[in-house]
Chains A and B, each alone.
Chain A
Amino acid sequence: MNIADIINPANLVMEKTKVMNDTPMHYCPGCSHGVVHKLIGEIIEEMDIQDKTIGIAPVGCAVFAYQYLDIDWQQAAHGRAPALATAVKRLLPDRYVFTYQGDGDLAAIGTAETIHAANRGENITIIFINNGIYGMTGGQMAPTTLQGMKSSTSPTGRDIPRNGFPLNITNLLAQLEGTCYVTRQSVHTVASVRKCKKAIQKGFENSMLNKGTSVIEIVSTCSSGWKMTPADSNDWMVENMFPAYPMGDLKNI
């Protein structure tokens, strides 16, 4: 059997979603971003909303999200994605508008924009990648970095008296009257990927129901920032991140 026999339409069991293009990804091996991008692409294809979706990209590792998903994008200043999304959705209410943000973007520099967009109940979907570290800039401490967790700006581990507490912003967002759906997911196993996909799809659907803001936190790995192999990162995440950021729905109206 030669390669032409193997690569044969009759043998095709799965195809990449057409909403993802062929640009090689810059994400590190083991990073969660690629999986989440794929889920968003699949949902957009399955819901047939490619011409109705506008993504807002952050500053951080996902700054290049617009290179991978074949939809219209706006790239925001650091932390400001929910402000952009607010205006886009208000002016184009029949479009699906989502932000894609990391923990530094959403929970540090963009805290005000995040909380106020959610509190106004903007009909947007916020995809929140929480890996507890600044990946793009080389592994500095993030608002969600765990107590004792090492980073390049907390080399001996996050020290509460010096650095303050990890910010559980998703819990905070669940308390706001403007949010309708707040959930915490992961993408480290096949089962968790399938659950996460359902959660993101629900967030997209909610944005057309005038119910308020949907927040999907995805507790994620950063093998490079954590200085671990991808497999070890997954184990470390389950052991250390999940107790601080437990899986499941925080709010579902």
Chain B
Amino acid sequence: MSTEKKHNTEEVRLMKGNEAIAHAAIRCGCDGYFGYPITPQSEIMETLMDLEPWNTTGMVVLQAESETASINMVYGAAGCGKKAMTSSSSPGVSLMQEGISYMVGAELPCVIVNVMRGGPGLGTIQPSQADYFQTVKGGGHGDYKLITLAPASVQEMADFMVKSFDLAFKYRTPVMILADGIIGQMMEKVVLPPFTPRWTEEEIREQTPWATLGKTPDRKPNVINSLRLEAADMEKLNLVLQSRYREIEQKEVLFEEFECADADYIIVAFGITARICQKTVELARQKGIKAGLIRPITLYPFPTAQIKEYADKVKGMISVEMSAGQMIEDVRLAVNGKVPVEFYGRMGGIVPSPEEVLEALENKLIG
């Protein structure tokens, strides 16, 4: 099949979450992908290599020698005002933390996709959500936050690819799409985003006047840099970042509610776990238990105010995660002791069933 034809096939497709990321990246005008193979997300680079976007949109796709090199290639590309991205899974994302911290310090936009697998260490290749802390609390050194979007469907993999670049450039920050092995691997119907052309050099100069495209006589040199030798200058940069985070916390919170209006008990879950817990809510309601579900879509900024509001209305909450309990800390901070907040989770790549979540809800919250 010709490259042109591969691109122009139906907009409504059945595909894996990983494939949706690749298609959406090309369609939203991404300039460069730099990555290193790791399960369970290798289909992202494989799909890109198969689609050969360098022949159509001109997008660069490069297999790097490591995740360390990948994120630093993303740094170089982003420094030129280009829409650059990488993807990996947990161990690879750990290797990228240095680069992410540098990009934050240099105020560079980019998108990082983490299709999480079980850890610690080399771990498993099965799905997990145990990189919540690493992503949301700042995995690299220094004071920073990463805007984090948690897709719960293949559709959201495609949609968030587009949204992430918008947010990254709006706030000059790396954005993380925090998916997991199920979302990456499962196939669902997806409506792909429309084609948006890549920025021309004129558009880049306009949109990102700080980009290193070569110094023209009308301006001073542009320097992409995170080094500030004077402590006062370093604090100034930190204050800029922090004020940006306050704005993000005000404007960019995304979440979804399911059956919360009359709920006595609320489950808080993100990503694929929220899909599972939706079934739990249905099972609970069949048994006469008024359960509801809050799904944070942005893990940072966290829907703190929305969860806090429900703390006055319900008897208890339970955070359900594929980890030992990480997001629960943010739920508890939001609830601030008003009602009990319990936890149920599985680790190491085990996916909880709706039934076992219901059992945990009954045992821990209702008693």
Q: Residues on A close to B: CB < 8 A?
A: 50-54, 56, 63, 66, 70-77, 80, 83-88, 90-92, 95, 112-113, 116
Contacts and interface: CB of A to CB of B under 8 A. Distances in A.
B221 A73 contact: yes
A71 B221 contact: yes
Given A50-B214, A77-B102, 13 more contacts: A51-B215, A54-B80, A66-B225, A72-B215, A74-B75, A74-B79, A80-B69, A80-B99, A84-B75, A86-B73, A112-B68, A112-B69, A116-B65
A50 B226 contact: no
Interface string B204-229: 00000000111111000111111100
B153 interface: no
A73 B70 CA distance: 20
16 contacts: A54-B212, A70-B221, A72-B223, A73-B222, A73-B224, A73-B225, A77-B98, A83-B68, A83-B70, A83-B72, A84-B76, A84-B79, A87-B75, A88-B80, A90-B77, A116-B65
Given A50-B215, A52-B214, A85 B69 contact: no
Contacts, number: 124
Interface of B: 31-32, 34, 60, 62, 64-66, 68-70, 72-77, 79-80, 82, 84, 98-99, 102, 106, 212-217, 221-227
Given A52-B214, A54-B212, A75-B226, A85 B221 contact: no
B223 A77 contact: no
Contacts of B68: 80, 83, 112-113
Contacts of A91: 31-32, 60, 77, 80, 82
A95 B60 CA distance: 16
A54 B214 contact: yes
- Residue among B32, B66, B77 with most chain A CB within 10 A: B77
B157 to A, nearest CB: 24
B221 A112 contact: no
A86 to B, nearest CB: 6
A75 B224 CA distance: 6
A85 B217 CA distance: 23
